[in-house]
Amino acid sequence: MNAKIAVFTLAILLVAATMSSGCVSKDDPAGGEEALCFSGENAYDWILRQCYEYDDVAGAFDEAQPIYRQPGSEGNSRIANAIAGELMQNALLPAGSAEEFSYLENFTLDPDGVPVNGTGYHNVVGAMTSAEWLRAAIEQTLGTGGAPQNLTAPKTLILGAHYDTRPWADRPAYYGQGDYRDPDTPVLGANDGASGVAVLLELARALSKASLNFTIKFVFFDFEDSGAYWGSEGYDWCLGSQYHAGRMSEEEVNNTIGMILVDMVGGINATFTREHYSEWQQGRGNPWLNDMIWNAAARLGYAQFLNSTEGGVIDDHIPFQTRGIHAVDIIEHAPFPETWHTTRDTPEDCSAQTLEAVGRTLEAAILELSANTPF
């Protein structure tokens, strides 16, 4: 083990272990809304940071300088590195490449368009470790001078979102009102891309002070949104999540509690119904994870969550379902918002209020899961 990696490992472990308790109430860990840390304004700021360059002179984000994040682009790589930097800031361990101890999980596409090991595209992965695993890892790192080895794999909850954007604004003309297509312009993806990332990054900050009894793996997927409409049974969509789920070991799969995906969670006046495949996985009904989320929303009084089941969506949760992991999708999909895959998908059509409803619901549900479930 490289000495620099060992020092870096210990530094992050120690920072994570010494973070003070913050907004979470010790007496009421699942608590009321006042006990929660998630800020919709912080999340909205992350949408702006992904979509626009910042003008230091004006002291504001510049709408005339958009950041497009289609796979393989310079903007895509910049945002991937910005996400990795924020994960490090909140003391999440790099979990993209064990060999390089990196937040980036690199992959490429073979001649058939199948995601395989290589370079060119990258998921971003960070792990917020359970308190028990963290203590054991620090003890072992201090004792051996290397990164933790042969520790019992912690139970893990996966949180996911895609950060890439569609290379073309090509929504089918019959969908919604008006025609906002442009085959030569990528989608800015404020809602379809940036909103899910924004929720997860702010959630990582909000939960960084909590003491959970399981690990949370935050995965930010590349190459979700470049598929052909209704083609190939969806297999040309969600390539980053196909790669990540496909390379999980059987031990990792068996130790995964579940997977929660957030996608298009920032729209003004957005509502969220239970997505069909999240309720009926592989033909089997077992909606416990959806129940946990929607019950938390009801306790907090968030009317954006409607307790009904609507149509299924091919999205980044599906590759995890095929591995036998219980995976659910929080997405505005019945119908998709009118800004979907158009040049209108901008921060101006997103809402800090919606982001906060989703983020605080997830924060409360995760704290309740940790408080009430032995792992």
Token readout for 279 is 């309720």
- Tokens representing residue 253 in the block: 């799969």
pTM of the model: 0.88
- Per-residue confidence (pLDDT) for residue 149, from 0 to 100: 58
pLDDT tens for the chain, 375 residues long, are 444 445 455 455 555 555 544 574 434 444 444 489 999 999 999 999 999 999 999 999 999 999 999 999 999 999 999 999 999 999 899 998 876 789 999 999 999 999 999 999 999 999 998 766 666 666 666 666 555 555 556 899 999 999 999 998 887 544 455 566 677 788 999 999 999 999 999 999 999 989 899 999 999 999 999 887 654 445 689 999 999 999 999 999 999 999 999 999 999 999 999 999 999 876 666 789 999 999 999 999 999 999 999 889 999 999 999 999 999 999 999 889 989 998 899 999 999 999 999 999 999 999 999 999 876
Burial, 102: exposed, middle or buried (Cβ in 10 Å; 0-12, 13-18, 19+)? middle
User: What is the DSSP code string of 30-67?
Assistant: T--GGG----HHHHHHHHHHHHEEEETTTTEEEEEEE-
Indicate the domain borders of the chain: 3-17+33-372
Residue type, 128: M
pLDDT at position 148 is 55
pLDDT value at position 7?
Answer: 44
pLDDT of the residue at 374:
73
> How far apart are the C-alpha atoms of 18 and 211, rounded to whole Å?
11
Distances (CA, A) of 328 to 35, 109, 124, 267: 25, 26, 20, 19
What Å distances lie between residue 61 and 17, 155, 171, 210, CA to CA?
A: 35, 40, 27, 32
Task: Give pLDDT, residue 168.
Answer: 87
pLDDT for residue 143: 63
CB atoms within 10 A of CB 298: 13
Angle at 224 (CA atoms; ends 284, 221), nearest 5 degrees: 90
Question: How distant, in Å, are the alpha carbons of 120, 244, 247, 328, 374 from that of 250?
Answer: 27, 13, 9, 20, 22
- Please tell me the distance from the alpha carbon of residue 223 to that of residue 21, in angstroms, as a whole number: 36
What is the C-alpha separation between 158 and 257, in angstroms, rounded? 8
Tell me which architecture the domain covering 3-17+33-372 has in CATH: 3-Layer(aba) Sandwich (3.40)
Q: Which of 188, 163, 181, 4 is nearest to 84 (CA)?
A: 163
**CA-based diameter of the chain, in Å?**
64
Q: Say if residues 168 and 187 touch (Cβ distance below 8 Å).
A: yes
pLDDT at residue number 183 = 73
